[in-house]
Structure 1
Amino acid sequence: MRIGVFICHCGSNIAGTVDCAKVAELARAFPDVAYATDLMYSCAEPGQAAIEAAIHEHKLDGVVVASCTPRMHEPTFRRTVERAGLNRYMFEMANIREHVSWIGKDKEANTNKAAELVQIAVEKLRRDKPLAAKSFDINKRVLIIGGGVAGIQAALDCADGGVPVVLVEREATIGGKMAKLDKTFPTVDCSA
């Protein structure tokens, strides 16, 4: 396997407290890493273009990007590797902004932690296999287990949404604990 590692500076968000060039240098020694570099903004168009070019130039099989939260840019990078001809699932991300840069001021400790997170992502990618999206027909019904207040409410909400419901209750009556109460607080209404 040939893995490419890209360490993002994120302007000064990451580079302010992490030596990104050193993390890239350390990553070059990890097993199966064929290429490692640092980029100013890996999510920007030039950064994405650099990742695509490196995939072609170094014949990479997988990519690790160490940058911000996957929630923000994982889809961006998956599309980038896919445009370059790789399977979109041969990509891993290390969050070195929120998990490292933003929580510590010690540049040496942050650099070491960032390198460890990159190594973890590389090791995970080494074990990844290409995946393919599948589609299949579904039976659009809901099974609700328990005919207590929550189960009844969920069944009503689903039915109001046009989804057929199957409600299963082990007792002879529905209502759960609520049905066994005489009066309810604060209105002193009958619970049934």
Structure 2
Amino acid sequence: MNRIGVFVCWCGSNISSAVDVSLLAEEAAKLPGVVFSTDYKYMCSVPGQDLIIKMIGEHRLDKVVLASCSPRLHETTFRKTLERAGLNPYMLEIANIREQCAWVHPKMKDEATEKAFALVRRAVAKATYMEPMYETKIPVTRRALVIGGGIAGMQAALDIAEAGHEVVLVEREPSIGGKLAMLDKTFPTLDCAG
């Protein structure tokens, strides 16, 4: 059974000036699988992260949905927060209500709030299907295959070899050079191509 926590960030006034964050948190609490929902002025701050950690423990949350700014900005911060709380860091879903609601609908609070709720509803629905992921390391063979011995293929092979990797160059014709081998002069210097 899912035990999802929803955390709605005000982002100072960035979100709260255009989205009714308290109403959003209230409505999110009614969604299937959600056992806790709240709003806070700055979720990315240390007190905000501490609140998330505390609520994960108190409510035995197994998944977290953040309604905040772009994942590009703080996804790593929140993944580390979940990890510090003892939760798999990939049990996180972020609904971007700052860029997708507050910033594009700054003077339409009802519509922005409605859209924010739609994004949170989608994030909660997605979170219900999340499964833990784990990082792993896979050995990589430092060898490259370049297909085509034309000018581009030869240059790619040389660049890769200069970077210290073994290169296998495959050409279907009996000689390399591609179309360049068919030219007698090259632009702009009219040098001999062969």
- TM-score over 0.5 for the alignment? yes
User: 1:118 matched to which residue of 2?
Assistant: 120
Tell me by how many angstroms 1:129 deviates: 0.6
Structure 2 Cα separation of the partners of residues 63 and 180 of structure 1: 62
Residue equivalent to 1:7: 8
2:154 is matched with which residue?
152
CA distance in 1, matches of 2:179, 2:18: 56
Q: What TM-score do you get using the length of structure 2 for normalisation?
A: 0.92
Identity %: 55
Q: Counterpart of 2:65 in 1: which secondary structure?
A: strand
Distance in 2 (CA, whole Å) between partners of 1:173 and 1:124 is: 54
Tell me the distance in 1 between the aligned counterparts of 2:47 and 2:131.
28
Write the deviation string for residues 104-158 of structure 1: whole angstroms up to 9, x where unpaired.
Answer: 2211111111111111111111111111211232212122222233222221111
Letter of the 1:138 counterpart: V
Residues 1-192 of structure 1 mapped to structure 2, 5 A cutoff: 1-105=2-106, 106-192=108-194
Q: How far, CA to CA, are the matches of 2:32 and 2:39 in structure 1?
A: 18
Q: AA paired with 1:7?
A: V
Deviation at 1:52, TM superposition (A): 0.3
Greater CA drift, 70-79 or 162-171 = 162-171
Instruction: Find the residue that maps to 1:65 and give its secondary structure.
Output: strand
Q: CA deviation at 1:171?
A: 2.6
Unaligned runs of 5+ in 2: none
Q: How far apart in 1 are the matches of 2:62 and 2:163?
A: 45
Cα root mean square deviation, aligned? 1.5
Instruction: Quote the Cα distance in structure 2 between the aligned partners of 1:13 and 1:23.
Output: 15
Q: 1:146 to 1:124 in 2, by over 3 A?
A: farther
Could you list the structure 1 runs, at least 4 aligned residues long, displaced by more than 3 angstroms after superposition: none
Residue identity matched to 1:127: Y
Structure 1 residue 186: Cα displacement: 2.5
TM-score under structure 1 length normalisation: 0.93
- List alignment gaps of at least 5 residues for structure 1: none
Q: Name the CA distance, whole Å, in 2 between partners of 1:163 and 1:114.
A: 49
Following superposition, the deviation at residue 185 of structure 1 comes to 2.7
Deviations 1:57-90 (A, max 9, x none): 1110000111111111101000101110111111
Moved more, 32-41 or 93-102: 93-102
